[in-house]
Structure 1
């Protein structure tokens, strides 16, 4: 939660002093770690830990080269071996969204049409990204997602956090993004204990 919110960016000493005070007072409690008290104490400040729908939606728009991208993906893929070299990679390859490739594409089977494909927030954001072992990533190259996944032994859609039954064809890219974003939003919400303005 702290990493995603960037609460330790500045004024770390003052923040830690106050957190230590809250944690020490919570140690005598039978409830355990006083997360709710911390969330309440920092509500309305620049260091708040409120995770509402709007904030999670913004997290899902995080771009591949953003410094927080790896942290978000690491949260979503906790079972990966982080001792290996891992790459942030596009599920639908970025090369597919270049103008020349889009000019060759016949039919955009989504309500948003071609502009949806051209919008970098859609193809370069968390909903189209995953973490992949470096050697596997090199072998993937610019291969279309549905073709690449069909050749992967033991790798299923759910391993890539793609809801079962999602259309993986390039022509269904908008519905793919909508479906995966909704799934990731639910996951992130449960990981950070999604809350709203009324409390944790």
Structure 2
């Protein structure tokens, strides 16, 4: 996709949704971090259902550590990989207290040193909590970037790097939200809703649906 088309692509998405945000529910940076860790291989809806109960009793790292792994596990049974995720949530809570005074760190290196926190999770936190213009590439963004011709790449890191180069600076901060939502609700995996797509004429996907 050419640069003029990319700019128009994001102009339309921005016009339709000027203030995009995550669909995960949270009340603090710590809660966002936990929610994103839990969202791996799970839907935001299922995570929100679980965290409403979890955050009601453990809204802080101190409370999460006090709740303990067994009790956290019980409250996460409705989401995938819940045992390992519970272990990571308790462990990252402990490290936040030991290394960062209970605060969520601002550096990517410190975030990725926490249990269960990979590059994508760190990027989400850096973007939403600290306002950094970074790209958190998930399966939706990977699909949209490749399918549309926006920023093709063989793996998530290649797509991330291509998007960071190609997305106009004025749209970069919100770009990953727009792309996630577009992939989740319009440019879906099995049957994309091309007839409802705001950027259909800019998209380079050859097998558009009618």
Q: TM-score, normalised by structure 2?
A: 0.23
Q: Report the structure number with the largest CA radius of gyration.
A: 1
Bigger helix share: 2
Q: Which has the higher contact order (CA 8 A, sep 6+)?
A: 1
Bigger strand share: 1
